[in-house]
Amino acid sequence: MTDTSTPAPIPAAPGATPGAASQPLVDVRGLRVTFTGGRRPVQAVDGVDLRLDRGEVVALIGESGSGKSVTLRSLLRLHPPRRTTISGQVVVAGQDVLALSPSALADYRGRVASMIFQEPLLALDPVYTVGAQIVEAIRRHEPVSAAQASQRALELFERVRIPSPQRRLQAYPHEMSGGMRQRAMIALALACRPQLLLADEPTTALDATVQIQILLLLRELQRDLGLGVIFVTHDIGAAVEVADRIAVMYAGRIVEEGSVRVLLREPRHPYTLALLKSRAHGAAQPGARLETIGGAPPDLSALPPGCAFAERCGWATEACQATRPEPVVIAPGHQARCLRTEATAAAASHGSDAPPA
Amino acid sequence: MNARSQALLQVSGLVKHFPLKKSAFGRGGGVVRAVDGVDFSVSAGETLGIVGESGCGKSTTARLLMHLITPDRGEVVFDGAGVGGRDLSLRDYRRQVQMVFQDSYASLNPRLTIEDSIAFGPQVHGLARGEAVQRARDLLARVGLEPRRFAERYPHELSGGQRQRVNIARALALQPRVVILDEAVSALDKSVEAQVLNLLQDLKDAFGLTYLFISHDLNVVRHMSDRVMVMYLGQVVEIGAAQGLFESPRHPYTRALLSSIPSMDPDRRTEEPPLAGDPPNPIDPPSGCRFHTRCARAEPMCAQREPARPQVFPIASGGGPGVAQPWGRSQVACLMYEPGSGHSAAPAATSPDPVRVEHP
């Protein structure tokens, strides 16, 4: 059904440090997000640095509670201000997001950066037709007539390949199937021609057959519109389908970052290694025991002073417990926050990757 | 385990239609054909995986098996006795067949400690309280939750993975022979999922259990199952040994489903979605073969003629994992494989060996 059958050009692993001349689309430095609503403050994001070039796709992967969605939402400042403390720097397309006034923030959302969510039924308004919601979004940002906005909405629906688009524009969200709703939400997110698309687990609630359709659609739109995309997922498989780079998060930090190829083939952080191995996919033998990560992620309201993964890590030494690892550059564009990258490299090259007990 | 000449669980002609309410304007009033003629058998000690898109009827099948909802038609035979009949009361049957659900929190009583939750079932079935509690504590240890630390806790004090371990322990408290796992690991993070999958394998070996493993995650099903059943819109389209089915799927739907799995290789990304659109509505399923509206190999006759349902294999060897040859051909409901069906790829009607159609 795709009319553009050329394979997706995968840019040659863009480095973590882009050329000095080009300013990155997204530049996050030292982002820390603390939720103060509960009994104890929860450090959900603990010093994240992330850069994204124009037209680049980065996948943030990690387990629940790793801070990937919180990081993403910070880019739109979606956290309730009274219960959240955000520090650090978030610059998107030259705008300092954390310093925007309320009206400037409203202009920024949807126009510069927009977001698609896991559950479109919750993200779309149930009492308006999908078409009306797209028209409203366009007219909020641009001085166009209702008729022009409707025409744009129709083009968007054609763009995201919703069958019989004219009729679907008149539909309410509950009248659409799951995959169709997700397409409608993508159309809504693209209504004001943003430069940055933030996707928060957009395919997690979908069946495999529909998931792959949405992933391919996102890839195609990203390529045709030159979008920068940050794609949050817990599914490495989905990340591999769309991303140029992958950043792995654990306990509020990016623990490893690199191009998709490098991260899959030469992971260096023990957590990435363990994550790749615990998947049932491609396990040596069906029914064989899966490698697991013992223990549980740390309590975010009482993070350890050293490496947050040390307690579950087979390679951890005393130094790991005491000092917080800084990013170690392994190759251009590939870095890991780990003190023992030499040990993990040796283990990986030997093929026997079980850490010393 | 003594050898049996028959399947432990034999399901034939299972049907469940849910009537729709008529709206105030007299519209609606159709039926959802959630499960529409399903036959299969499970032999002792094997794991049967059930896969399919949402709405294909896999969870309804599980609930019908547990008699949580009553089937409209069809028969469930457990260990030679008809369920709910004179030989096997529902109560006795449910003691032997237990279920673990996806939502670990909703399936536990929030007002009971986990120890009481686990001990509840055995007490209903006549075990003294002291013995039931002792069994609960043994099981907690079995599923990796230190009884002294966890027995007195309430469900909200546990993580999702721990709660699912409690649910598994509770399912085992009645010492069942069959456990139905309905998306039991789907809500868990990958690293926790791996722990629970390992636990399930250990428990299966230790207690000689038989599993029905329902999941939308094809990788997990492949990992866990001896045989796999693929469902589409309330019917079985393919059933066979897991290895054979995953290595060389035969039904066009199974092929599309399997090629929807992300490749995990950045140099060989998927370029074309194997299937377009969402699954059709089970309220008004397509005529003939239900898959013909999305099938790449569909021919005009597929809209008219319904393919024959896969036959239930009599289990040849009996006992133990029921699959004699892991490479055995799977059974499909597809006109392409039906002799004389009129499909251009179908073998001739007189062909002595009906299942020799190679993939294009």
DSSP B50-69: EE--TTSSHHHHHHHHTTSS
Whether A41 is covered by a domain: the verdict is no
Residue whose entry in the numeric block shows the structure tokens 């929807």: B260
Whether A254 is covered by a domain: the verdict is no
Nearest to A275 among B190, B224, B265 (CB): B190
A236 torsion bin: left (phi>0), alpha (psi -120 to 50), beta (else): alpha
Boundary (domain end) residue, out of A149, A173, A193: A193
Going by their DSSP bridges, the two strands B81-82 and B97-100 should be labelled as: unpaired
Contact assignment for A291 to B275 by CB distance below 8 Å: no
**Which residues 54-83 of B have a C-beta within 8 angstroms of A?**
54
B201 touches chain A (CB under 8 A): yes
Whether B219 is covered by a domain: the verdict is yes
Whether B185 is covered by a domain: the verdict is yes
Boundary (domain end) residue, out of A193, A209, A234: A193
Contact assignment for B264 to A212 by CB distance below 8 Å: no
Q: Which residues of A touch B222 (CB under 8 A)?
A: 280, 286
Contact assignment for B262 to A241 by CB distance below 8 Å: yes
C-alpha distance from A50 to closest chain B C-alpha (Å): 22
Task: Give how far Cα B131 sits from Cα of A302, B118, B136, B334, B354, Å.
Answer: 40, 12, 9, 53, 57
Whether B170 is covered by a domain: the verdict is no
Whether A334 is covered by a domain: the verdict is yes
B287 touches chain A (CB under 8 A): no
Q: DSSP for A287-341, please give it.
A: TSPPP---S-PPPTTS--SS-TTGGG-TT--HHHHHSPPPPEEEETTEEE--TTH
Q: pTM (2 decimals)?
A: 0.86
**What CATH number is associated with residue B358?**
3.40.50.300
If one counts the domains in chain A, the total is 2
Q: What is the mean pLDDT of each run of 10 residues along chain B (360 residues)?
A: 64 92 69 92 94 90 93 92 88 94 92 95 94 96 93 92 94 96 88 90 95 92 94 94 92 94 88 86 88 92 90 47 52 90 82 48
A216 touches chain B (CB under 8 A): yes
Closest CA to A284 of A225, A353, A338: A353
C-alpha distance from A89 to closest chain B C-alpha (Å): 30
Helix axes A178-189, A208-225, angle to 10 degrees: 20
Whether A243 is covered by a domain: the verdict is no
Q: How far apart are CA A54 and CA B296, in angstroms?
A: 38
- pLDDT tens for chain A, 357 residues: list them: 444 444 444 444 444 344 444 689 999 999 999 999 888 999 999 999 999 999 999 999 998 889 999 999 999 999 999 999 999 999 999 999 999 999 999 999 999 999 999 888 889 999 999 999 999 999 999 999 999 999 999 999 999 999 899 999 999 999 998 889 999 999 999 999 999 999 999 988 888 899 999 999 999 999 999 999 999 998 899 999 999 999 999 999 999 999 999 999 999 999 999 888 887 665 557 778 888 888 778 888 889 999 999 999 989 999 999 999 999 999 999 999 999 988 888 776 654 445 544
Q: How far apart are CA B341 and CA B307, in angstroms?
A: 8
> What does the pLDDT look like over A181-223, one tens digit per residue?
999 999 999 999 999 999 999 988 888 899 999 999 999 999 9
| pLDDT of A346 | 79
Instruction: For residue A256, give both structure tokens.
Output: 């490893």
Helix axes A178-189, A146-159, angle to 10 degrees: 130
Q: How far apart are CA A221 and CA A227, in angstroms?
A: 8
Q: How far apart are CA A51 and CA A71, in angstroms?
A: 12
Instruction: For residue B33, give both structure tokens.
Output: 């054909």
| pLDDT of B122 | 95
Show the domain range for B346: 1-15+32-79+177-262+281-360
- Exposed e or buried b for every residue in B99-134, given b needs 16+ CB within 10 A? bbbbebeebbeeeebbbbbbbbbbbeeebeeeebbe
Distance of CA B354 to the CA centre of its chain: 28
Contact assignment for A212 to B279 by CB distance below 8 Å: no
Contact assignment for B191 to A292 by CB distance below 8 Å: yes
| pLDDT of A10 | 40
Q: How far apart are CA A234 and CA A201, in angstroms?
A: 8
B23 touches chain A (CB under 8 A): no
Total Cβ atoms within 10 A of residue B320: 15
Whether A291 is covered by a domain: the verdict is yes
Q: How far apart are CA B332 and CA B355, in angstroms?
A: 9
Q: B22 pairs with which residues across the strands?
A: B28
Q: Are residues A217 and A189 in contact, defined by beta-carbon separation less than 8 angstroms?
A: no
Whether A308 is covered by a domain: the verdict is yes
Whether B40 is covered by a domain: the verdict is yes
Q: Which residues of A touch B224 (CB under 8 A)?
A: 280, 286-287
Residue B211: enclosing H or E segment and its boundaries? strand B210-214
B223 touches chain A (CB under 8 A): yes
| pLDDT of B140 | 96
Whether B338 is covered by a domain: the verdict is yes
Instruction: For residue B106, give both structure tokens.
Output: 């909703």
C-alpha distance from B257 to closest chain A C-alpha (Å): 6
- Exposed e or buried b for every residue in B143-161, given b needs 16+ CB within 10 A? bbbebeebbeeebeebbbb
Q: How far apart are CA A233 and CA A118, in angstroms?
A: 10
List, in order, residues 6 or more apart from A104 with CB less than 8 Å away: A95
Distance of CA B313 to the CA centre of its chain: 17
Residue A151: enclosing H or E segment and its boundaries? helix A146-159
Whether A146 is covered by a domain: the verdict is yes
List, in order, residues 6 or more apart from A143 with CB less than 8 Å away: none
Boundary (domain end) residue, out of A193, A224, A254: A193
Whether B358 is covered by a domain: the verdict is yes
> What does the pLDDT look like over B324-335, one tens digit per residue?
444 467 899 999
Closest CA to B199 of B184, B216, B187: B184
If one counts the domains in chain B, the total is 1
Phi first, then psi: give them for residue B94, nearest 5 degrees: -70, -25
| pLDDT of A284 | 53
Show the domain range for A134: 124-193
Instruction: For residue B75, give both structure tokens.
Output: 């028969």
Whether A274 is covered by a domain: the verdict is yes
The C-alpha torsion from B258 through B263 and B268 to B274, rounded to 10°, is 30
List, in order, residues 6 or more apart from A15 with CB less than 8 Å away: A332, A333
Q: A196 pairs with which residues across the strands?
A: A113, A228
Written as one letter, the residue type at A334 is: H
Whether B93 is covered by a domain: the verdict is no
| pLDDT of B264 | 86
B308 touches chain A (CB under 8 A): no
Whether B45 is covered by a domain: the verdict is yes
In terms of residues, how long is chain A? 357
**Interface mutation target, options B188, B189, B195, chain A, most CBs of A under 10 Å:** B189
